[in-house]
Amino acid sequence: MTRAETPVLERVPGQKPAMAFLRRAVERPHHAYVFAGPEGGGKQLAARAFAAALLCERGTGCGRCRACRLALEDRHPNVFVVEPEGRDIHVDTVREEVWHPAYRTAPEPGRKVFVIREADRLNLAAADMLLKVLEEPPADAVFLLLSARPDELPETVLSRCHIVTFLPLAEGFVVRTLEAEGVEHGLAVLAARLSGGNLGRARRLATAPDGLSFRDVAARALERAEQGTSGALDAAGLVLEAAERYRKGLKDELERDLAPFLDERGRPEEAYRGAIRRLEERHKRRVKRAERDYVDWVLLAVSALLRDAVASAAGLGREALINPDRSPIARSVVAAVSAMVAVEEARAALAEDVNLNPRLVLERAFLRLGAASS
């Protein structure tokens, strides 16, 4: 059986218990679910597949009918996708993209499916607005809340949802998946280890135009940070310059993403205006986040180099290294661990507060890192 002939709920790999639950749920769906699990574990893929199965013209999640195909591509008019705008999901967004359409007639016959990505980013007012819908849900609506931090969702919201747990993906599974997609084995292993089981991140790392070149930036920044105060400041500048180059390289992606939704004259097809708007907004957010994403990749790579130093100092073999293609840097366990703490605190700070100045966070981290190695 080819992938095109495989039912949609059997196309999500590595999450057998979760998908078995969803296959049963399609027959008599609850009004709301929380897909809980780490980033890159397949929650978004599962949400698309579940939406397709709920909207399938044959009622089987066949993957071949028009409804299935559109839902799998985030293009079905009855699928409403909500994502954070900046740090949070705001009450106005929930009101306009969830509350109002939930109680209106669906654009096409069948159910309405609402997918709320990063649902833990609902601010208090937005969560209260969503709660009102969940307390009196329309009979034809199903709500899917995706979150890597479900414990940050209000208990009142969680209590009205069925929890579907997605587990971290094993390194071997990520490697095999990347290899099946044409990624060379060595690169697949590196991407899998750097991503920590996050398949989406591993795929982006393995297929990025410049590959894993951010590791070279990390190595140079680490070397400079150990050259005193001026070196630490230079290291921060080096990372930010590389991040800016990465951001500029994303500019051509939107045209490629929009091409399938345009007619022969290059104009948006009316039926896809909602999908086009979501793509444009998603691209805008990605460009906005690009520099921070790249900075996080570099810091992740710095942390990986330091972890390899710990493994080497502890006498572990190469199979324990995150970067088996590189010779571990020489650091004592105490110095490496102290430096890792500084790096991970910087990553956490940038992830939690979008208003922080990345340069100041990086400078502080590299100053601490340099002090730890002295």
Residues 141-175 have pLDDT tens digits of 999 999 988 999 999 999 999 999 998 888 888 89
Look at residue 273 in the predicted model and tell me its pLDDT. Answer: 66
Say what angle helices 185-195 and 199-207 make with each other, to 10 degrees. 130
Residue 27 pLDDT greater than 80, yes or no: yes
Least confident of 51-55, 84-88, 237-241: 84-88
Phi, psi of 73 (to 5 degrees): -100, 10
- Quick one: average pLDDT of 123-137? 95
In the chain, the amino acid numbered 137 is P
Q: Which two tokens stand for residue 75?
A: 């293009």
* Domain ranges (residues) in the chain: 3-168, 208-373
- Quick one: average pLDDT of 282-300? 77
Least confident of 26-35, 42-51, 105-114, 257-266: 257-266
For residue 305, give every residue at least 6 positions away whose Cβ sits within 8 Å of its Cβ, in sequence order, or none: 218, 219, 222, 323, 326, 328, 329
| Residues 182-207 as b or e (16 or more Cβ within 10 Å = b) | ebeeebbbbbbbbbbbbbbbbbebbe
- Quick one: average pLDDT of 119-144? 95
The whole-angstrom separation of Cα 88 and Cα 119 is: 9
Say what angle helices 333-352 and 273-313 make with each other, to 10 degrees. 170
pTM: 0.67
| Residues 303-321 as b or e (16 or more Cβ within 10 Å = b) | bbbbbbbbbbbeeeeeeeb
Domain topology for 3-168? Rossmann fold (3.40.50)
